[in-house]
Structure 1
């Protein structure tokens, strides 16, 4: 055994974190002492200091069992009314709230009262285990699901309350409580199990010596199988060779009375041989009645409860399809039933599926189980005959007869048969094989009665007419069978195509969705279109509240409880399940990487065959939906992380930039003020005036920085309002130059403003501030006595302010980035000082007017030029009159 296999075994054996331990007291029949043994073990645990609480214990009035309860704390039972009858059930929520160390839950197979959270008590036990509470429970062997048919065969009694075998597989300990049949019968006669009247009826109906001996053997076999499984696991833990899990068991079922027994037998074989198993149904397209559909559904649901995989395949060749699927899944054992051999209308008898498997299944172990069918049909399944299809056959035959009578004057006798063949084909295409065969038989009789001499009798006088009739009947049957088969194949292909198209469409829409809202909307829309059902996606909001995508349901108490339970436990709940089935919605959990992502809610889902097919289609669609939801959730988290990172980066840049740009003028101002305060009386008037002017320049510089910060804040929060007015471009240029006359004093300034410029309909102060930012930026990077040019031009309905310098310029690759906030603080704006807000604010202000800002080459191929481009509006009439 490899280290990896041993590690896997250790992980399997290790108890799951936070999960309680389950101990099952298993008995062959009531009265063997399971409850007494459970209470006795609980008393020992109480003496060891554990918090033990009785959830539910059924003593049936036995004095020794009642005495064993003394000293054990009890959880009061939950009371409910059902059809005028008061029922008492275990208070599951009370136990979950108290969270004892150990809970006692008797009768694991018990069915809960209507309105309970779970339909079965074993589901309550599973929830207690998930909450970290240890559980002691009892169960009789006849309640195991896989043994249900064997118990019925032994006792003649159909046990209705069952427990899936996989529940016992999760038990940490199974303790067999055994009592010889003679002693149990003696206890029954003494009234220690039931009251005397009930005891006599039980002995006569169920508790016979033979039945008890057989049930005892089943209990011992179950316990022995568990011991064998434990031994197998211990071998793996020690790194020793043990029977390895090889291959897979496939069990092929059909819609007949043998299906459930075949599934139970397969579950037992898979358990004994440590094989994973699948239930495979090959749909040949043949029409099925309600009884057959009921048998098939019951068997598939039973397989899911017993832990098997359910697979549906479509093909007419059942045996070949099973073999191909077995090879694909690397199965080693194929199990089929041998209940009946099908015969078809051909020259020979077709081999049964079992015979075909034995002949073609080379390398496979083929097992054929011969058994008796179930005593009763599934609940709600009744045999029905679609009389409308046979009425169609009769009408088609009569129509063909009338047409043949009209054409008999013009056509020869052999050609008349083609009219009846056409009727058979029409019925086969529109209906199924049964009505087609009925049409063929009725056409055969009418053709003989009306057209074969002697007329109006079924007697055939001529030998050649006998051959004509026989060939007609043969061709009608073959044609009807072929047409019916093609129709079934077409229906199967349409159904397969519809499911494939639904998956493809959903995958395509989900792949295009970028966030959780878009994913949910696409899924709801596709589910409503494909399944014709109400659908909703429910996710958890930041405050723990449900956020719905789709038609928001009214979450009454059953709905809210079902949704909460499905989200918490990762299992379906609501309508059609065993958890809160009174709810109107079916809640299907959506999870990714073991984490709950949300819920898929479905309403108006019935228990019929169409509902079962829709459930499987929805379950198939839920998988890509969960993946897309996980992807969208992860993308949202990554985007939030990216925005957070950018925010932190901008914050750091702002702090670094502002701390430098605000500190520089403040330091200069403080130095000037300190000089005036200390040396002012000894300074000349010219020196004092120079310090005052320097202080004023630094104050104006500081004011521009603060104004940039305020403008950027207004742009970012949408607080920038445009108060437009007609203004002259020359006035804007003059005002900007006046504000920056000290900054531009050491440069050779060139101003090119034509006299005949049109007016701008803009917010003058904002456009002026944008021009000031560009001019200040150009002055900062221009060399001493360098040229700085400002030009104004028009063209194509636009007016442009162009500011050019002779500085180091801007690389072409960075000309778009210099308009980003704080770009100067890193590398842009040619590496100079400043917050980097000037050009970003400039772009925002000009963009608010519908204009744009772009960078080009500077004067003589040196430096850079920044262009502010604004749209021109139709000039006012007053201005035209004045000119």
Structure 2
């Protein structure tokens, strides 16, 4: 360990002056017992003589939690009024004026009410800590800022209240409060977390067993990371490296037949030992043929599917690089395959496992010997003989000899050899090892023939010249080999950089894509950069017919279609340049998901030649994030379909519940009238019988209107509603709505203001009337008894506005867009009321069918809310002159 690292640890461990200590009770979800545990710990501290004060403790009506508050002094909270609603917040100034030793502040991620000193409660806690006050607080793992995206991916819900991770990292102590998922769900069902109605909605939306299990794992990982960091810091104080208590499994693979068996074995070992695991490949710059590269890539993809981490490293010596990485990741076990050592290594060297065991003190080294029948003999890398490079080697040796002859009069014999070494280096840099060795051999012969006495012969008269020539040949071979390896590494780095750049570009485009078509379009934008290739993305329909979703629309021959079918069925590449149906113009690469192929990527070089190996590797690498994006889009589509199905069922039930009262009222009245007529008969005066019959008829007509409106709403939801428009006066719609709601509006002071000469509306009168009724009912439900309700009807040249204002609690700005969502009901203070949350959603749909809308603004005298119906005007009809 470096001195700087130890110094940093010592500085971090220095006392923080008079700053208070922060203890965080961390949980996976509401209801696990964080507040209860915090209060229990506070009770213990109070019994020990600590001055404890409760600033905020959210019991949520839980009896066992409220019981823990008994005996603990509580700080009175501040009252803040915002938009007519009284909110309670922690009184920070009162606590600082008479500071206790320990303060309890529940729900650390809470957002303070407008008008508070700080926007967030954690900022209040920081001020308390700076004042030297110890703080106990609680927080759920989903409120951590770094986990916000992961929580949204897990639960489908965007958590709005978050706190920076550094607040938790600077805590002096973190206590994980855990509760098994089944017990938490049982507490929810029993109403110990929320009231029963909220509990059922919470279980359906957020508190599912899958979500809770994932959140529980995140909480455990967060706590474990904190413990691990604390352990590392403690060891650094002593100048030591922390031991790998949990450990990690590293499996080293290469492009051979042992790679996939190694990965599967590593997965099983990691599961048995409960270890995280990584698959590591060390690229030493050695050339590999296409078969080895395909095996390596297949093993890496298998590791990703099995949940392992894939790591690629570069180094000159495989064992050394693996050990360095193992110590960086604090691994405890390295798994490699048994080396198939040849004659040279058996006599002069060691295999990878032997070298690891020689240098890997403190690590467990395992070597897996795969069964012989599971391994296949791989072809050696074939290096094509390029005559141009060898010709270049001969020319370089000849040129070096000519230059040496010209300078032989001014240079001594040892210096002349440097010219030949320079020629060898130039050839090695421009070609490969073979031509460099050929140049070294030619230079050796030229040096001997032209400069070693006797000259112009290959014989050597002096023994010391033999040693000189041998050293020259050795130096030429070594320098040529070194230069050749450097060139190979440079080529590999350029290839890797190009692949990484392409992957980053494609990933950034796929990140912005939200559906399958957008993903395919983003992929085609990336592939279109290759002007020499035709690219096509195919999908297979239920009738097994290929459909071109993006890219080239060229017709496929029978053989090309057969190659595409084979690639789809076997999840392996086929077509041009492969061993399977290579006669066509297309090379097919299946984009795999968990349940099979998602699409088929086709590449066709315009020159008709097979793709180069580097191009195939790059396309295969790009296909992996593309397949993942398609899987994500497919999953999102399935989830959306499931959500819509569930919402449809919920809408059906809620719609019946929402109209049950309106349907029951006329039926009750009709039944009462009919029972009276049947029971009393002729005893009822004729006038009264006539009145009862008229009432029955009116209620029947009312019931008929309700049912018709319900059918219209249903058609509206399915887009099949045909509006029966007619010209109607706005005053008639308003009067009819007020008459139907006379009993509902009776406790309120209704004020009506209508403009003069209002134009006619060309609308479906029943729907507009029902929309107005929904708004009036909403205002009446949230208005206090005896409150004012103001109804204003105005018109301009484009629309008529019917505004309904009340004196209720109002609607916060951040909720004004949500109140028109189905099943959304605000439950704040006295606003929590009956209803399914469909009224305003249906109202919005009715107005939208007419091209109108509903807007929300402030209510009367700064209180309540105003909902305004905006109904567009049509050209007014031409009235006939009745005097003619």
TM-score tier after normalising by the smaller chain length? 0.3 to 0.5
Q: Give the TM-score normalised by structure 1.
A: 0.46
Q: Give the TM-score normalised by structure 2.
A: 0.46
